[in-house]
Amino acid sequence: MDWLEALESVFGADGARVGRAIQAAILFGLSVRIVAKAGYATWWASVLLIPGLNIIMAWVFIYAYWPALRRAAEPLAPHHAGPAMTMNDEI
């Protein structure tokens, strides 16, 4: 017995729908996290809910240059914490 059949035995005829809704919620939550880690706005994950466009946007997302990688490739600004102390300076 798979887990959808188990849900059907607990929830009746709507058990499979409940199971599919749980799957969809988990996958949508994961896609929101992935999109955010890539550096895009999280609302881009809602494109997954539009049939047809979701496949096209998945390909665009895969091959696009991610903003998070662009930020990681930028050189860091030098940190200036004030004048450097020398060995002759008193504390």
pTM (predicted TM-score): 0.58
Identify whether 69 is part of a domain: yes
- How much is the pLDDT for 62? 83
Residue pair 39/46 in contact (Cβ under 8 Å)? The answer is no
Angle between helices 15-38 and 3-11 (to 10 degrees): 130
Identify whether 22 is part of a domain: yes
DSSP 22: H
- In tens, the pLDDT along 26-78 reads 989 998 998 888 888 888 888 888 889 888 988 888 888 878 777 666 665 55
Nearest alpha-carbon partner for 48 in 66, 34, 69, 68: 34
Residue 81 pLDDT > 80:
no
Identify whether 19 is part of a domain: yes
Mean local confidence (pLDDT), 10-38:
83
Identify whether 87 is part of a domain: no
39, burial (CB in 10 Å: exposed 0-12, middle 13-18, buried 19+): middle
Domain range for 49: 3-73
- How much is the pLDDT for 76? 57
- Count of domains in the chain? 1
